[in-house]
Chain A
């Protein structure tokens, strides 16, 4: 069971909302009843050999093609609840003034994060996943349709706060960024290796709190590299702004690379 999100039952509809919107639904029925017509044939085994997440991977590839065609650099932000994803976005968006940006917010229930982003003036769409503990490629596709993304822009996707489930779901992003804050313990990479394995970038956030907590930055980096030796790191404080210039430079370079 997933303790992080506590969800257990399927079926609660996914909703998409812009800042100030009323609820509107998109159908997402994955399961349907089939008629049982009992014309008795013989018992047989059918070879299927299909990737169980193949449907999501296909949609992610379609999204990736769309982003490429429009020259949109896309970042998928994943972390435990409260590691500072939204705070980092608020800061980054104000630092990147002049660069066309958009944000997709994923959350089980509330509009809170989208409202915080909307306050920066950047276009944002909230996806409420209901019971769902992660965004999937199809949700991102629908959200992109609603957002009318600009060419040559940056798209940030804040995934549902959860260090387990989003690991398996490719959204079509260019880079996956895992955020860990220093209040969480430096053994996170060891405890949640699947997420660190699936990430390109690791941000260590809340470094302003380092004097007050037992968190060995070096040890955390080493452990994360043992899981995934491709990881690149940024050490930042989203609230004080320390370390953010390097992150902003990295983003700007990636937008340029796209051209």
Chain B
């Protein structure tokens, strides 16, 4: 389950940031996660608490902002919202679509004390 290693990365990055700011605890970790990022948010939440144990982030809250997907059609240049990799252009019904947004997997901010 790659959500476990992703959770470990999140907590690792957050702890380093918090330490370099001289903070002693982390209360909130905030993420941007794209709908096409390939991460199951439920699994991530499931791993999160156990990964936080014995770190500055123990007991912290995980806040996830879901980022919607968007793409553009290579045949007719239409831009549109997508929620899967099998996106069909609403204008010309082409599947030649490149993704602009939705793969984000970013640690946005940490709230510390």
Binding site for B on A (CB under 8 A): 1-2, 5, 7-10, 30-34, 36-56, 131-134, 136, 164-169, 190, 193-194, 196-197, 223, 225-229
* Supplied contacts A41-B22, A165-B1, A197-B85, 13 more A-B pairs, CB within 8 Å: A2-B2, A7-B1, A30-B8, A31-B11, A38-B25, A41-B113, A44-B112, A44-B113, A46-B110, A50-B106, A134-B2, A166-B2, A227-B85
Q: Which 8 A-B pairs have the closest CB atoms?
A: A2-B1, A165-B2, A193-B85, A194-B38, A226-B95, A227-B85, A226-B86, A33-B54
Tell whether, in the assembled complex, residue B95 and residue A8 are in contact, meaning their CB atoms are under 8 Å apart: no
Query: Complex formed: what's the CA distance from A132 to B19 in Å?
Result: 28
Q: Which residues of A contact B8 (CB under 8 A)?
A: 10, 30-31
Q: Which residues of B contact A193 (CB under 8 A)?
A: 84-86
Known A47-B108, A50-B106; contact A34-B55, beta-carbon cutoff 8 A: yes
* Residue in chain A with minimal CB distance to B74: A229
Query: Complex formed: what's the CA distance from A1 to B19 in Å?
Result: 31
Tell whether, in the assembled complex, residue B106 and residue A10 are in contact, meaning their CB atoms are under 8 Å apart: no
Query: Complex formed: what's the CA distance from A255 to B44 in Å?
Result: 40
Tell whether, in the assembled complex, residue B107 and residue A50 are in contact, meaning their CB atoms are under 8 Å apart: yes
CB distance from A258 to the nearest CB of B (A): 27
Known A41-B113, A229-B95; contact A52-B105, beta-carbon cutoff 8 A: yes
Binding site for A on B (CB under 8 A): 1-6, 8-15, 17-19, 21-25, 27-28, 31, 36-39, 43, 46, 50-51, 54-56, 74, 84-86, 88, 95-97, 99, 105-113
Main secondary structure of the interface of B (DSSP, over half): mixed
Q: Which residues of A contact B55 (CB under 8 A)?
A: 31-34
CB distance from A88 to the nearest CB of B (A): 24
CB distance from A196 to the nearest CB of B (A): 7
Tell whether, in the assembled complex, residue A10 and residue B112 are in contact, meaning their CB atoms are under 8 Å apart: no
CB distance from A123 to the nearest CB of B (A): 28
Known A8-B4, A196-B85; contact A45-B110, beta-carbon cutoff 8 A: yes
* Residue in chain A with minimal CB distance to B3: A2
* Residue in chain A with minimal CB distance to B96: A229
Tell whether, in the assembled complex, residue A190 and residue B86 are in contact, meaning their CB atoms are under 8 Å apart: yes
Q: A8, A39, A40, A194: which contacts B1 (Cβ < 8 A)?
A: A8
CB distance from B12 to the nearest CB of A (A): 6
Q: Which residues of B contact A51 (CB under 8 A)?
A: 105-107
Tell whether, in the assembled complex, residue A223 and residue B17 are in contact, meaning their CB atoms are under 8 Å apart: no
CB distance from B110 to the nearest CB of A (A): 5
Q: Could you pull out 9 A-B pairs where Cβ atoms are within 8 angstroms?
A: A9-B4, A31-B8, A36-B24, A43-B113, A46-B112, A52-B106, A168-B37, A190-B86, A223-B86
Known A33-B54, A227-B86, A229-B95; contact A48-B13, beta-carbon cutoff 8 A: yes
Tell whether, in the assembled complex, residue B21 and residue A46 are in contact, meaning their CB atoms are under 8 Å apart: yes
Q: Which residues of B contact A165 (CB under 8 A)?
A: 1-2
Q: Which residues of B contact A225 (CB under 8 A)?
A: 95
Known A34-B15, A229-B95; contact A1-B46, beta-carbon cutoff 8 A: yes
CB distance from B98 to the nearest CB of A (A): 8
